[in-house]
Structure 1
Amino acid sequence: MKDNSNKTLLFDLDGTLVDSFPGIRTSFLHTLQEMNWEIPTEERINRVPGPPMEWTLQDLGMSPAQAQEGLKIYLKHYGEVGWDMSSDFPGMRDLLLRLQDEGFRLCTATSKGEFFAEQVLKKFNMFELFEFMGAAQEDGPRRTKPAVIKHVLDSVGLTDPANILMIGDRSHDIEGSAEFGIDCVAVTWGYGEASEWEKARYTATSVAELEGIIHEWV
């Protein structure tokens, strides 16, 4: 078997490993209702997963202070209700098991907060499959995808971008990894759009296709 021990795969969480949209949507709408804020179109709501929530709230017209208030409301509701409404994408845990058996180093690089990321990964028995869980801070400066990726690189000691591959579904995954010279596979079963995926080095429309791309990348 080929030695893959020097190859590291960075996995996004929401929209890549799990479908967390039902809970994100519920907690997002709860936040807007609590703040008496206008509810956007369903098309706009569909693009909420991915970027930090405070970015989304500011994009809707909130001031930075209002967005921080909204973030607190969102996190409280998500912690009580939203996080447990997620489901795993079929075949992804089995793929992680195969990749682990093949010697790949597996890490997450998610904009989801550390506490919720761990809860969701444990819910679907994925937590133990990752060497390192890279996630955002619920209450701290590490909020953006580049900041999370840097945290992973520094924590695990990764220096050669040629030996690292990012797997995600949104432009934040693609652009964030590109800042470090890391190629990205865009998966189409998540929350992104074709205009986002076209910026990625690779695009996968199924778990089987993703597995093939990883093997070709090596």
Structure 2
Amino acid sequence: MPFRTVLFDVDGTLLDTREFVLTAFEHTLSTNGLPVPSRVELAKLVGPPLELLYARLAALGEADRLTAAHRAFQKEHLDLSVAYEGAADVLRELHGRGLRLAAVTSRSGMTSRRTLELAGLLTRLEAVISAEDAPALKPDPA
């Protein structure tokens, strides 16, 4: 049976978000008086939802506040996310073959859609499924 739909992750697949993510961590930690790990160490942490990451990096009870600060910084620096070379061509080719395309991310829908739009990729996607749309986030298999 041929497939009709292709799902893409956003961060690290369609968009190079390394600067976007790491700069936000560095800013959030440093402006809140917390130690800033090296970029190598920060990169090892990236993946799970922000709340879980900040729960590991900060004092008990600070995760929500730091997550909000992180998201506020990212909202003002969406330009740090850029499309990977060739991403637009791949989407155009697959769309031209009649395939349905969507993006799936554990990031917020607003920042995901806006960064995809700024990178010129959003118009090829029928949907962006984000953290707000899921009953559970990774690593939960649900």
- Pair 1:112-2:107 in alignment: yes
Q: Secondary structure at the match of 2:105?
A: strand
Regions of 4+ moved over 6 Å: none
Within 5 Å, give how 1:90-169 maps onto structure 2.
90-137=85-132, 144-145=137-138
Higher strand proportion, which one? 1
TM-score normalised by structure 2 residue count: 0.87
What is the CA–CA distance in structure 2 between the aligned matches of 1:95 and 1:136, rounded to whole Å?
A: 25
Aligned length: 142
Q: Rate the CA distance shift 1:40–1:143 in 2: closer, same or farther, 3 A.
A: farther
Paired residue secondary structure (1:62): coil
Amino acid across the alignment from 1:77? F
Aligned residue identity for 1:95: V
- Offset at residue 96 of structure 1 (A): 0.8
Q: CA deviation at 1:75?
A: 0.9
Q: Report % sequence identity.
A: 26
Greater relative contact order (Cα < 8 A, sep 6+): 2
**1:128 CA drift (Å):** 1.3
**For residues 139-162 of structure 1, what are the alpha-carbon distances to aligned partners after superposition, in whole Å with 9 as ceiling and x for unaligned?**
x985614xxxxxxxxxxxxxxxxx
> Alpha carbons of 1:120 and 1:142: their partners in 2 closer, same or farther (altered >3 Å)?
farther
CA distance in 1, matches of 2:80, 2:119: 12
Instruction: Identify unmatched segments of 5+ residues in structure 2.
Output: none
- Choose the corresponding residue for 1:66, options 62, 68, 76: 62
